[in-house]
């Protein structure tokens, strides 16, 4: 089994074995880094990093990761590329493919990433779109394994907007046999197609996919509590309205009280403390938010190594 040469656009495109392959290699690479052991699996390789959305964690983790693997990352802001001045995506894909060994893109339109993958001859990694955030969700699954030992039979509760983060977690949890309950205000549920895909995978793994409008119902007996900002990038004009609509969809002590006593709390960051999560919970003993953030580095190194490296 090898992911070499493949793209990572969505967790839905991966098999459960491929997800485990990523998580297993991430564990190995994390141990090597902690021990100070070199792991130059991508010696001489170059990763092109296209950013049409700003980032802290995505840029630093990918750029640091490719360096630690022995390669080099090229930061490509949309303003620095002809794609930002009207060059077709298919032209950019075919040109960059002749210069670099892999491309990571963080952008708005998921269709743009799919088009990039269609025309590229090197692996494409989805660093985030409005529809999906697979690298973050894989880091979340890795963190859950570190703290819970396994995924199958565990429960993750996502509380907030049915956004790209909810979509990737739906795909990831269902594929790995983990129950997932998503609680959103009415009208903000995850996309019906994504829910249907997750339910189809859940039927195969014996897990449950639950979509509700009550955060306490979702959080009941959850092993993992998860949230994200109420207004994502591109939704700034909705921010004030969303604050009113989402006011009850906050991870706080009341929500923590109905979860499993040994539950862990995750957030993909950046966090708006006092909105989707309280400062008390974020800084409390159940929070693994910063371990989760660190794990972006280790999981993305595994993704790059498997997609861009030798078999």
Annotated binding site: 55-58, 82, 106, 133-136, 164, 228, 232-233, 268-269, 296
108 within 8 A of 52, measured Cβ to Cβ:
yes
Q: Which of 21, 74, 79 is nearest to 49 (CA)?
A: 74
Distances (CA, A) of 18 to 15, 40, 253: 5, 22, 36
Alpha-carbon torsion angle 91, 97, 103, 109, nearest 10: 20
Q: Which residues are annotated as a binding site for carbamoyl phosphate?
A: 55-58, 82, 106, 133-136, 268-269, 296
Question: Which residue shows structure tokens 């950013």?
Answer: 51
Q: Which of 90, 165, 169 is nearest to 129 (CA)?
A: 165
Residues labelled catalytic: 106, 133, 136, 228, 268, 296
Give CA–CA dist 209/203, Å, rounded. Answer: 9
Q: Which residues are annotated as a binding site for L-ornithine?
A: 164, 228, 232-233
Structure tokens of 70? 């022995």
Give CA–CA dist 116/81, Å, rounded. Answer: 14
Give CA–CA dist 42/308, Å, rounded. Answer: 7
267 within 8 A of 136, measured Cβ to Cβ:
no
The alpha carbon of 216 is separated from its chain's Cα centroid by a whole number of angstroms, namely 24
């Amino acid at each position: 089994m090898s992911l070499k040469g493949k793209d990572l656009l969505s967790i839905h495109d991966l098999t459960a074995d491929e997800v485990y392959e990523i998580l297993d290699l991430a564990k190995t690479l994390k141990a090597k880094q902690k021990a100070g052991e070199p792991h130059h699996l991508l010696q001489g390789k170059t990763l092109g990093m296209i950013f049409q959305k700003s980032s802290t964690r995505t840029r630093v983790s990918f750029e640091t990761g490719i360096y630690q693997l022995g390669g080099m990352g090229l930061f490509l802001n949309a303003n620095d590329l002809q794609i930002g001045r009207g060059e077709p995506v298919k032209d950019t894909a075919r040109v960059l493919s002749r210069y670099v060994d892999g491309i990571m893109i963080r952008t708005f339109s998921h269709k743009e990433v799919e088009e990039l993958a269609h025309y590229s001859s090197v692996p494409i990694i989805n660093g985030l779109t409005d529809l999906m955030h697979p690298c973050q969700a894989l880091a979340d699954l890795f963190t859950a394994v570190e703290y819970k030992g396994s995924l199958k039979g565990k429960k993750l509760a996502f509380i907030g907007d049915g956004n790209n983060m909810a979509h990737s977690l739906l795909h990831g949890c269902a594929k790995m046999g983990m129950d997932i309950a998503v609680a959103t205000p009415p009208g903000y549920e995850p996309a019906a197609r994504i829910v249907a895909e997750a339910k189809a995978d859940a039927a195969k793994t014996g897990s449950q996919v639950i979509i509700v409008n009550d955060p306490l119902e979702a959080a009941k007996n959850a092993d993992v509590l998860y949230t994200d900002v109420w207004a994502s990038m591109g939704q700034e004009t909705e921010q004030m309205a969303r604050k009113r609509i989402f006011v009850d969809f906050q991870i706080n002590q009341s929500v923590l009280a109905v979860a499993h006593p040994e539950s862990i709390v995750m957030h993909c960051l950046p966090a708006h403390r006092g909105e989707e999560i309280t400062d008390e919970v974020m800084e409390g003993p159940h929070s693994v938010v910063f371990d989760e953030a660190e794990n972006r580095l280790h999981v993305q190194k595994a993704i790059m190594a498997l997609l861009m490296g030798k078999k």
